[in-house]
């Protein structure tokens, strides 16, 4: 309490000077907000007393009423301190500390009351705009938001082009001054729907590194009832660029209203960027009171067959994969190896003309094809302790899906199915809306909320970038929302060797990703000799991805027959956990390498994943996170000495070692390679 009083006095003193400064709990990071003679507000961010975000703009422009909310009368200032802990329903750690200082500026402009709220953590900052209830200002339309992030130099940056409809681009690694989104996008030929914003637009999460080794990650948290934030670059300044709706408006709002948080995670260590829980802490607590039905899962997928040409989604054509006997084969394999369920795609009618027609009535989500006996299969799975996982490809006819959600979810409940994978491939209906617009953001959140009412878990594909809402809706367990493993079969660019070393610093900052790892057969001409696409990864790296790319829903993506031929390597996929008590980011550098250790929930077992880009490298690190005076059996699934992601990707070695907390773990990652390790306590 004494600290809070001192902080309030400090704010009052600074208020007279029209400058306000607030520091994080240990003074690592601070924000200074200043008002110039023109009454415009700007903020700066300092890390260890060094400026890392130069003076940057704040404010909004409204279309209705037509107002510029950028030059303010300051009515008052409040500040406070919060320090507490909370336990996620599932996650990378069993408990999260939420410790920050908050500064709120109470403002008025053109008769409108508005607050800007800043929170400063030891690992970064967040700020948002709040419009309280007020008699003469109830409804408004947002035209632009001027939140900006001005960098202090021409940093290295990891980025994808700004696009209203897709986040499936290959990541670029350039200087800020070298960003050219149109040139990068021109190389892409395999993305279904694109709506590029322009040459100088990029998406968040945006990862940057300064020449003096300071890492900054720009994103947003708690994206609710608002469009996604992309960024427009002008010099060294990135400014919020909101996704418009069908008529060009950004957001329709009714007071009281909070915008999403604008976030910057900051550290001089890349590992601390990945360890940050700032975005989760800026989201609201769970809205689901009884969460006992929400369970992390490991599952098989009747999915990759269609990507490699063995089968197809539609019944027409004679290669329908989702037939009763084939799915039984997957159930048998999943049962034999201890999985929780089987995802089935192409089970329902409508796949013959679903894509590219901008057609509203496509799927009804309750009518199976004639060769898919859903009752037989759900009972067969249940007899083995498994569940089917439902697939709802909406073809982006979202109005159709919203009309049918209740019936579809009740159908799932009636069949004993408790998890749904949604998909949004194609142009959005309502026509003119975008995947990242306010209408669609609200839809994704409605799906999570409605699914919770039916006690269903959700895995969304082709959805907006996650912003930590899995804290608020822990049944929204994962999303794709980036270039996932299916792009290994994309003929133009595919997935390069560095992609999965960038994803933890970009896409995964907002939440778990359904990347679908676990591919064992790297030449994708197994069923079609004309195919030239390859998985640019060693087999050991595919195993390591189960640890480095976090998700509580993990699919073994390859075919049963490909696993049957390498059961010793498949053992790691069987053993690796999907829920965790603790996570240690051992070593990491975006675009280069990532090594992460995780402790399984309620077990004395650790798993380690280590991956590299197209460069081979030796890895060495201490195991001091293990219990002292205990011995562990370490099983290493590592690249063979002659492994190479281009020349010999499937070469691996399974090796056993005895280790303790005093041991040093060493191994070599080959080009495009990885190492997966399980550590089981022996005494």
Instruction: Cite the active site residues.
Output: 486
Return the bridge partners of 251, or none: 142
Residue 429, SS3 per DSSP: strand
* Residue 54 · residue 21 · CB < 8 Å: no
Length of the chain: 683
637: tokens are 């699934």
Count the neighbouring beta carbons within 10 Å of the beta carbon of residue 234.
Answer: 10
Residue 333, SS3 per DSSP: helix
- Count of alpha carbons within 13 Å of 106, Cβ hemisphere only? 8
CA dihedral of 511, 514, 515, 518, whole degrees rounded to 10 = 130
CB proximity list for 470: less than 8 A, separation 6 or greater: 476, 477, 511, 512
Phi, psi for residue 9 in degrees, rounded to 5: -60, -40
Count the neighbouring beta carbons within 10 Å of the beta carbon of residue 321.
Answer: 22
DSSP letter (8 states) at residue 65: T
DSSP letter (8 states) at residue 382: H
Helix (H) or strand (E) holding 654: strand 652-659
* Residue 388 · residue 381 · CB < 8 Å: yes
Q: Report the alpha-carbon distance of residue 67 to residue 136 in Å, rounded.
A: 14
Backbone Cα Rg of the chain: 25
Q: Report the alpha-carbon distance of residue 279 to residue 89 in Å, rounded.
A: 16
Q: Report the alpha-carbon distance of residue 92 to residue 87 in Å, rounded.
A: 11
Parallel, antiparallel, or unpaired: how do β-strands 41-47 and 29-35 relate?
A: antiparallel
State CA 46 to chain mean position distance.
Answer: 27
């Amino acid at each position: 309490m004494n600290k809070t009083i001192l902080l309030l006095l400090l704010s009052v003193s600074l208020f007279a000077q029209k400058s306000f400064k607030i520091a994080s709990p240990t003074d690592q990071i601070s924000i200074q907000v200043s008002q110039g003679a023109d009454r415009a507000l700007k903020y700066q961010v300092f890390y260890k007393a060094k400026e890392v975000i130069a003076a940057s703009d704040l404010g909004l422009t409204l279309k209705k009423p037509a107002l510029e909310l950028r030059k303010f009368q300051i009515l008052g200032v409040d500040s406070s301190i919060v320090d507490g802990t909370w336990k996620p329903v599932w996650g990378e750690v069993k408990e999260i500390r939420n410790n920050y200082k908050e500064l709120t500026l109470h403002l008025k402009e053109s008769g409108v009351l508005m607050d800007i709220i800043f929170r400063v953590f030891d690992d970064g900052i967040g700020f948002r705009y709040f419009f309280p209830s007020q008699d003469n200002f109830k409804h408004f339309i947002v035209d632009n938001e001027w939140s900006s992030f001005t960098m202090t130099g021409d940093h290295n940056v990891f980025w994808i082009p700004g696009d209203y409809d897709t986040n499936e681009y290959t990541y670029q690694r350039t200087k800020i001054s070298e960003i050219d989104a149109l040139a990068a996008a021109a190389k892409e030929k395999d993305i279904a729907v694109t709506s590029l914003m322009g040459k100088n637009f990029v998406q968040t999460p945006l990862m940057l590194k300064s020449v003096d080794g300071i890492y900054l990650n720009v994103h947003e948290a708690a994206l609710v009832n608002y469009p996604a934030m992309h960024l427009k670059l002008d010099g060294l300044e990135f400014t919020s660029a909101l996704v418009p709706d069908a008529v060009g408006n950004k957001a329709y709002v009714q007071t009281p209203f909070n915008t999403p948080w604008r976030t910057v995670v900051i550290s001089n260590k890349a590992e601390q960027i990945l360890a940050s829980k700032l975005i989760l802490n800026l989201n609201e607590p769970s809205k689901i009171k009884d969460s006992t039905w929400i369970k992390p899962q490991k599952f098989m997928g009747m999915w990759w067959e269609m990507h490699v040409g063995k089968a197809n989604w539609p019944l027409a054509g004679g290669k329908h994969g989702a037939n009763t006997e084939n799915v039984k084969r997957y159930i048998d394999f999943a049962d034999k190896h201890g999985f929780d369920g089987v995802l089935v795609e192409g089970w329902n009618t409508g796949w013959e003309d679903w894509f590219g027609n901008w057609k509203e009535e496509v799927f009804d989500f309750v009518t199976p094809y004639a060769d898919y006996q859903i009752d037989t299969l759900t009972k067969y799975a249940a007899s083995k302790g498994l569940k089917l996982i439902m697939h709802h490809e909406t073809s982006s006819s979202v109005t159709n899906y919203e009309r049918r959600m209740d019936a579809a979810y009740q159908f799932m409940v009636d069949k004993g199915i408790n998890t749904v994978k949604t998909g949004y491939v194609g142009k959005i209906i309502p026509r003119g809306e975008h995947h990242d617009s306010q209408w669609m953001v609200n839809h994704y959140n409605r799906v999570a909320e409605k699914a919770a009412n039916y006690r269903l878990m959700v895995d969304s594909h082709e959805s907006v970038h996650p912003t930590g809402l899995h804290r608020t809706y822990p049944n929204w367990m994962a999303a794709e929302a980036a270039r996932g493993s299916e792009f290994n079969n994309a003929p133009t660019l595919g997935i390069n060797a560095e992609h999965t070393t960038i994803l933890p610093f970009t896409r995964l900052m907002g939440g778990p990703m359904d990347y679908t790892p676990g591919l064992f057969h790297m030449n994708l001409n197994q069923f079609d000799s004309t195919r030239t696409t390859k998985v640019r990864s060693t087999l050991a790296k595919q195993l390591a991805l189960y640890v480095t790319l976090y998700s509580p829903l993990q699919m073994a993506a390859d075919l049963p027959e490909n696993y049957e031929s390498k059961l010793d390597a498949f053992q790691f996929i069987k053993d690796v956990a999907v829920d965790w008590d603790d996570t240690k980011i051992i070593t990491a550098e975006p675009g280069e390498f990532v090594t992460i250790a995780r402790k399984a929930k309620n077990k004395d077992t650790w798993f380690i994943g280590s991956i590299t880009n197209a460069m081979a490298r030796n890895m060495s690190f201490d195991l001091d996170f293990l219990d002292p005076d205990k011995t562990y059996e370490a099983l290493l699934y590592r690249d063979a000495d002659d492994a190479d992601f281009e020349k010999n990707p499937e070469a691996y070695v399974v090796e056993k070692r005895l280790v303790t907390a005093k041991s040093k773990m060493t191994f070599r990652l080959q080009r495009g390679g990885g190492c997966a390790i399980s550590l089981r306590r022996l005494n």
